[in-house]
C-alpha cells in the first residue's frame, strides 16, 4: 500500500466500559495532535462493529474543549461493542482493511480487555499476512483487573474506589438499622472469573471496621453450609453482617451460582442475581431480613469519584501506546509494571497481544484469607495505591459536564 509520509490513526473502544477509558483516548489523541508524523485522527463508532459499517469520527475537526473533556468523561464516548472477529470471517477482515485503506490508516489502537486484545491480535496478524503496513497496539482497560501481563488495569482503581465507598456507607446504614430491621446487606459486584472487584470492598475498612464481614470470591467454591455458619457467627458477633458477592462465584460442580442460561456475543455465559440467590439462602435457612444491592453499570461508570492514580495512569497508557507504535512496534498491549509500593511507583512496558487474549489474571492465593471469606493485608497493600486521590470532573448546574459525541451518523 502507498501512504503519504504522514499516516492516519484509528482509535476504537471495545467491551465493557470504565470510568477512565476516555482518559486513555485523551492521552492518545492529545499526544497525536502534537505529533508531526500523524495527519488525521479518527475514532471508530461502536468499536469494530461500527468501523465495519464505515462509521468514523474525524477527531481533528472536534472542538478543543470537547477533546479536553474526554479526560474526565466516563463510559465510552465513541461507543463500544462486544463483537469478536473470528479468523474464519474472511469477509469482515477484507471489509475492514478496505476501510483502513480508504481512510489511509497506518496505526490502529484498540482500547479494551481480553477479548478486545484477541481481535487486535487477529487484525495485526492479518495485516502481516497481506503485507499491509499497519501498526496495531492494544490499550488496556477493564474494571475486572484480570488482564494478563500488567500489574493492574486502568479502570480497576476507580471501580474499586466506588465499591469500597459504597460498601462503607451501606455497612454503616445496615449497622444503624440492625436492632429490629435489616440484619444482612449484600452487594453483588462484577467479576466473572476473578475476584478483584469483590475484594476491593475490603478497602472500606481502611477508616474503621464497619464491614464487609464476608467476601465471596470466584477463586473459592461456594459451600452453602460453611457460608451459613460464617453468617451466623458474624451476626452474633456484630449484630449485623455485610457481604460482598462476586457475580462469578461457583458451586463445587463448576456451575455458576448466577448462570442465566445463555451466552453473550463474546461467547461468555450471562450471569446475574448471584446476590439474590445468596440472599434467598440466608432468608430460607436463617430467617433474617436481607437487603441486596447490585451496582451493575454504576460501578464501572462512576465518573464523579474517579481515582486520581487511575485517571493519570489511564492517560499515560494512551500516550505510551502512541509512542511505541510510532517507534515501529506492532502487536502488543501496553502494560503497567509496579516498581514499588511505598512510595508507589510504576513503569510502562508491553506484552504480546496473543498472550493477553489467551490468559486470565486471577487473585493470587497469597491475597486470600485462610478461611476463604476475605482478603488480607497483602491485598490491601496492593490495592490501596490504586484508589489514591480524587479526580473530579467539571460540574455545571450541580452535576458533572461530560463530553458528548454523536454516535449515529458517519462523519468524515
Q: Which residues are catalytic?
A: 144
Q: Whose CA is closest to 237, among 216, 215, 209?
A: 209
Q: Give the span between the Cα atoms of 206 and 121, in whole angstroms.
A: 40
Q: Give the span between the Cα atoms of 113 and 4, in whole angstroms.
A: 32
Q: Is 103 left (phi over 0), alpha (psi -120 to 50) or beta?
A: alpha
Cα–chain-centroid distance for residue 100? 27
Classify burial at 5, counting beta carbons within 10 Å of its beta carbon; exposed 0-12, middle 13-18, buried 19 or more. exposed
Q: Give the span between the Cα atoms of 155 and 159, in whole angstroms.
A: 6
Q: Give the span between the Cα atoms of 302 and 200, in whole angstroms.
A: 15
Q: Are 71 and 315 in contact (CB under 8 A)?
A: yes
The crossing angle, in degrees rounded to 10, of helices 274-286 and 224-238 is 70
Per-residue b or e along 176-198, where b marks 16 or more CB atoms closer than 10 Å to that residue's CB: eebeeebbbbbbbbbbbbbbbbb
**Under DSSP, is residue 119 helix (H, G, I), strand (E, B) or coil?**
helix
Beta bridge partners of 34: none
Q: Give the span between the Cα atoms of 81 and 155, in whole angstroms.
A: 17
Amino acid at each position: 500500500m502507498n501512504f503519504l509520509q504522514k499516516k492516519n490513526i484509528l482509535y476504537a473502544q471495545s467491551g465493557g466500559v470504565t470510568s477512565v477509558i476516555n482518559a486513555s483516548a485523551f492521552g492518545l489523541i492529545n499526544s497525536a495532535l502534537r505529533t508531526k508524523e500523524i495527519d488525521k485522527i479518527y475514532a471508530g463508532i461502536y468499536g469494530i462493529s461500527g468501523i465495519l459499517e464505515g462509521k468514523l469520527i474525524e477527531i481533528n475537526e472536534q472542538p478543543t474543549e470537547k477533546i479536553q473533556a474526554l479526560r474526565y468523561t466516563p463510559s465510552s464516548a465513541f461507543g463500544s461493542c462486544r463483537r469478536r472477529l473470528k479468523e474464519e470471517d474472511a469477509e469482515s477482515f477484507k471489509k475492514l482493511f478496505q476501510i483502513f485503506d480508504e481512510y489511509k490508516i497506518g496505526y490502529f489502537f484498540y482500547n479494551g480487555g481480553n477479548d478486545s486484545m484477541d481481535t487486535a491480535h487477529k487484525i495485526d496478524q492479518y495485516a502481516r499476512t497481506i503485507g499491509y503496513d499497519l501498526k496495531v497496539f492494544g490499550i488496556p482497560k477493564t474494571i475486572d483487573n484480570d488482564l494478563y501481563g500488567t500489574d493492574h488495569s486502568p479502570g480497576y482503581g476507580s471501580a474499586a474506589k466506588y465499591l469500597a465507598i459504597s460498601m462503607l456507607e451501606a455497612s454503616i446504614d445496615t449497622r444503624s438499622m440492625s436492632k429490629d430491621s435489616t440484619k444482612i446487606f449484600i452487594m453483588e459486584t462484577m467479576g466473572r472469573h476473578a475476584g478483584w472487584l469483590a475484594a476491593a470492598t475490603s478497602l472500606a475498612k481502611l477508616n474503621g471496621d464497619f464491614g464487609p464481614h464476608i467476601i465471596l470470591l470466584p477463586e473459592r467454591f461456594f459451600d452453602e453450609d460453611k457460608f451459613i455458619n460464617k453468617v451466623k457467627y458474624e451476626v452474633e458477633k456484630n449484630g449485623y453482617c455485610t457481604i460482598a458477592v462476586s457475580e462469578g462465584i461457583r458451586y463445587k460442580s463448576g456451575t455458576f451460582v448466577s448462570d442465566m442460561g445463555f451466552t453473550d456475543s463474546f461467547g461468555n455465559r450471562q450471569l446475574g442475581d448471584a446476590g439474590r440467590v445468596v440472599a434467598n439462602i440466608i432468608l430460607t435457612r436463617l430467617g433474617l431480613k436481607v437487603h441486596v444491592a447490585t451496582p451493575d453499570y454504576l460501578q464501572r461508570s462512576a465518573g464523579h469519584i474517579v481515582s486520581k492514580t487511575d485517571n493519570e495512569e489511564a492517560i499515560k497508557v494512551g500516550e505510551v501506546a502512541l509512542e511505541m507504535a510510532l517507534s515501529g512496534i506492532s502487536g502488543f498491549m501496553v502494560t503497567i509494571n509496579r516498581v514499588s509500593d511505598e512510595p508507589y511507583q510504576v513503569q510502562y512496558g508491553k506484552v504480546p497481544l496473543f498472550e493477553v487474549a489467551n490468559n486470565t489474571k486471577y487473585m493470587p492465593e497469597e491475597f486470600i484469607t485462610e478461611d476463604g471469606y476475605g482478603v488480607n493485608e497483602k491485598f490491601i497493600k496492593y490495592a490501596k495505591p490504586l484508589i489514591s486521590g480524587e479526580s473530579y470532573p467539571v460540574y455545571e448546574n450541580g452535576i458533572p459536564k461530560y463530553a458528548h459525541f454523536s454516535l449515529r451518523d458517519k462523519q468524515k
